[in-house]
Every structure is written in structure tokens, then in C-alpha cells.
Amino acid sequence: MTDNLGPLRQAMSDLSQHGGAADMYERSLRRSRQIQRRRAVTAGVAAAAVVFAIGGTVAFAARDQRPDAVTPPASARTSDGPQNSDCPSTKTLGAMVELPAGWSFASREVECVEAWAAADVDRPDAGSVIYLFHYEAGTGWRYQDQGTGWDCEELGLTEPASFCVS
């Protein structure tokens, strides 16, 4: 049995002369660029998701640590009743100032009115003097002044206070 492959070979030769070379190079470059773009977009989306996840967690945690109100903590006079929990103690105020030798905070409780606190200080030679402290949101209680009385209007007080002279 003999196969006659001549006509088949001739047909294949004719086809190869008329057909062009397949351009695989351009197609492979186009596919490579497409894959690079997809990877870049995927990496960008993943990075954005991580940033939002971390930012949301930090914002949520910070929200729990912020005070609910910006109003001063002491809104009632403490001399009329029990010590207000937001009003500082003489020990707390004593840590903010250094009293001269022989001076000490009086046994009377600290008086708090709105954003102000006053504590009596006993002096061995001249009687008592009042130390005035002011509360500001974010910084807390700070030493303001010492004296025997202040003008309530100048301090911005709307309630009467024993440390005010007018």
C-alpha cells in the first residue's frame, strides 16, 4: 500500500505562500499590559481598604475616650451640699501649686462654681487667702490667681460665689 502524499504536500505549500506570519508578539504585549493594569488596580483597592479599616478603628477607639460634654465639670456649689465629684479636692489642687513654708490648705472643702474652683489657704501670720483655679476643656484645672475676692462678672460667672466680692 502506497500513500500518495504529493497532492497534500502541494496544497500545504500553496497555503503557506499565501498566508502571513502570525503576529503573536503584539498580542502578548497587549495581554501583559492588561494584566499589569488589573494588578495595579487590585493593589490600590486593597491599600485603600486597609487604610479605611485602620482609620475607622482608630476613630471608633478615640470616640470612646472623648468626654461627652464640653461644659465645665463643676456646675454646682459644693459649699451648699456634698462634694461634687467633678470638683477637685484640696489634694489635687495642692499638686498644682507650691505653697510657701507654713502655708496650708484650710480644712474647708473646695468651692466650685461653674468653671471655677476656690480653696482657702491658711497663712500663719496674716490669716487666710483664697487660691483660684479655672477649668478648661482639654487642659483641665489650672491655677489662676490668689487673693481675697474677685468680681464675678469679670470671671463670667452667672451664679453667686463666696469668693466673689461683687
Per mean pLDDT, which range of 36-40, 73-77, 124-128 is the poorest?
73-77
pLDDT tens digits, 18-33: 766 667 788 888 889 9
Between 67 and 108, name the one with better pLDDT.
108
- 36 band by pLDDT with thresholds 50, 70 and 90: very high
Q: φ, ψ for residue 31 (rounded to 5)?
A: -65, -40
Where exactly are the structural domains of the chain? 23-65, 70-166
- Whether residue 15 is predicted with pLDDT greater than 90 in this model: the reply is no
pLDDT tens digits, 80-120: 434 445 888 888 888 888 888 888 887 778 889 888 999 88
- Whether residue 65 is predicted with pLDDT greater than 80 in this model: the reply is no
Residue with cell 493594569: 37
Between 109 and 73, name the one with better pLDDT.
109
Looking at residue 67, what is its pLDDT?
A: 54
Looking at residue 22, what is its pLDDT?
A: 63
State how far the Cα of 119 lies from the Cα of 65, in Å rounded to an integer.
30
- Whether residue 35 is predicted with pLDDT greater than 90 in this model: the reply is yes
- Whether residue 34 is predicted with pLDDT greater than 90 in this model: the reply is yes
What are the start-end ranges of the H helices in the chain? 6-18, 24-65, 90-94, 152-155
For 68, the 3-state DSSP assignment is coil
Residue with cell 480653696: 119
Arithmetic mean of pLDDT, 125-145: 86
- Whether residue 66 is predicted with pLDDT greater than 60 in this model: the reply is no
Looking at residue 76, what is its pLDDT?
A: 43
State how far the Cα of 155 lies from the Cα of 130, in Å rounded to an integer.
15
